[in-house]
């Protein structure tokens, strides 16, 4: 070990190292709380002033993270800021910023690159820089490394460059930041050793891999695995529907096999910050090598088409009752991308709402986790969640169950809704006014 590496690892070991979390979202906030929990001083950097003000006042903006945890963090010394110069006082800089797709479904690294460019003037000897954002293999060394070394600092000697992909499952009480094993690698073996020390203090188990490219590919494989299998079961749902078979019954029966089968469930499309996006990072990068990832792209096509398939089922159901979609009153139940959270990223419910609105329907929604439709980069409805009452339910021509939150009273919905389009398999018993989609 060189002196810089030895000194930095010692500071990490005795918890005197200052941890800088850059990007205080669904990934950054739990990580910040975990480092504070184990006794590290932590600073947070974000460009959203409203978010910063809220956090510094001890209030959370993510539903499954209570205000009390943020308040305790502030009392422990945590401070959020938009001033990137504070990075100079940190020993570790962990980047937790979005990596969305652009309108051409190509990787958008603008958040990662602009963040790194903002940090470069404040880099110093003894820094460890870790990227957690999901991206294509090669990003760390092709994009971050030259920016870091443009400062005159040599990675692996004076500063340490790490890639360790986030593994968060918002709202899942069974897995937390410290219990989920952490993949980690570095630009050099020295970088990897520093990264292992850094994360080893916050998580129960760190798994190292040989290169940052391998770590980047590991994260993509995890989410491609899910996307492809969900695409398979979504396609089987459409086939089973034509055959008059309940796909949820089939999945439940297949899941009794004690080996060789993992249950995946269909829905109205893919949502969240990872699964609808990450596979396209690999398909884009593969083209650089003259490869066409047909299997991954086919699954993407199936999953992307699911909202349209739901609308077709809804249209047929209304037509059978002598009603067109145009001018019908449609209530969408659940607009978060998964049950029991307030996370709206890439939610297929929003696409359902947009398609219905474009077809002339009068659209409302009900979601106990999203009281008002939030500002989003690409979507907006001037709507607030309506209360689920007998009177409200009977006033709609159709209710679309898009996200199956536990808070919904499904018996009451079944009793009072005129027509239900169930995209989640919540209603298993046949019923004349429930359409499975």
Annotated catalytic residues are: 274
Cα separation, 285 vs 421, in Å, equals 38
φ, ψ at 41 (rounded to 5°): -75, 135
Which structure tokens are listed for 230? 């969900």
Cα separation, 369 vs 405, in Å, equals 9
Cα separation, 223 vs 429, in Å, equals 32
Q: Cα dist. 99→23, 181, 205 in Å?
A: 12, 22, 26
The DSSP bridge partners found for residue 421 are 400, 435
Which of 427, 376, 374, 371 minimizes the C-alpha distance to 401?
Answer: 427
Q: Which residues contact 13 (CB under 8 A, 6 or more apart)?
A: 197, 201
DSSP 307-347: HHHHHHHHHHHHHTTT--STT-EEEEE--SSSTT----TT-
Q: Cα dist. 37→31, 92, 93, 191, 194 in Å?
A: 10, 17, 18, 25, 20
CB 164 within 8 A of CB 182: yes
Cα separation, 303 vs 193, in Å, equals 40
């Amino acid at each position: 070990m060189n002196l810089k590496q030895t000194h930095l690892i010692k500071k990490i070991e005795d918890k005197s190292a200052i941890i800088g979390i850059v990007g205080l979202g669904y990934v950054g906030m739990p990580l910040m709380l975990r480092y504070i929990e184990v006794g590290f001083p932590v600073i947070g950097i974000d460009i959203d002033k409203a978010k910063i003000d809220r956090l510094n006042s001890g209030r959370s903006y993510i539903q499954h993270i209570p205000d009390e945890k943020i308040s305790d963090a502030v009392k422990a010394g945590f401070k959020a800021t938009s001033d990137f110069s504070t990075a100079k006082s940190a020993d570790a800089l962990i980047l937790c910023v979005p990596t969305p797709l652009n309108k051409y479904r190509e990787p958008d690294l603008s958040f990662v690159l602009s963040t790194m460019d903002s940090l470069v003037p404040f880099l110093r000897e003894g820094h460890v820089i870790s990227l957690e954002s999901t991206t294509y293999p090669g990003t760390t060394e092709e994009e971050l490394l030259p920016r870091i070394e443009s400062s005159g600092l040599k990675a692996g000697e004076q500063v340490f460059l790490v890639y360790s992909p986030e593994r968060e499952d918002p709202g899942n009480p069974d897995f937390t930041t410290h219990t989920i094993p952490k993949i980690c690698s570095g630009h050099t073996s020295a970088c990897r050793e520093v990264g292992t020390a850094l994360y080893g203090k916050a998580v129960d188990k760190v798994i190292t891999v040989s290169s940052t490219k391998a770590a980047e590919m590991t994260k993509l494989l995890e989410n491609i695995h899910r996307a492809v299998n969900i695409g398979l079961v979504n396609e089987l749902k459409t086939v089973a529907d034509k055959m008059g078979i309940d796909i949820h019954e089939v999945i439940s029966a297949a899941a009794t096999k004690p080996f060789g089968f993992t249950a995946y469930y269909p829905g109205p499309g893919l949502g969240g910050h990872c699964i609808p996006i990450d596979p396209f990072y690999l398909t884009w990068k593969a083209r650089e090598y003259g490869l066409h990832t047909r299997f991954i792209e086919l699954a993407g096509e199936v999953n992307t088409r699911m909202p349209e398939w739901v609308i077709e089922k809804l249209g047929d159901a209304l037509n059978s009752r002598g009603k067109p979609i145009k001018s019908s009153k449609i209530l969408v139940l659940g607009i978060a991308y998964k049950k029991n959270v307030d996370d709206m990223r890439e939610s297929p419910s929003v696409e359902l709402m947009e398609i219905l609105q474009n077809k002339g329907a009068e659209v409302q929604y009900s979601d106990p986790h999203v009281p008002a439709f939030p500002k989003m980069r690409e979507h907006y409805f001037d709507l607030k969640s309506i209360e689920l009452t007998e009177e409200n339910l009977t006033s709609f021509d159709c209710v679309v169950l898009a996200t199956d939150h536990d808070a919904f009273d499904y018996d009451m919905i079944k009793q009072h809704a005129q027509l239900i389009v169930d995209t989640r398999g919540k209603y298993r018993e046949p019923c004349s006014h429930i359409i499975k989609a």
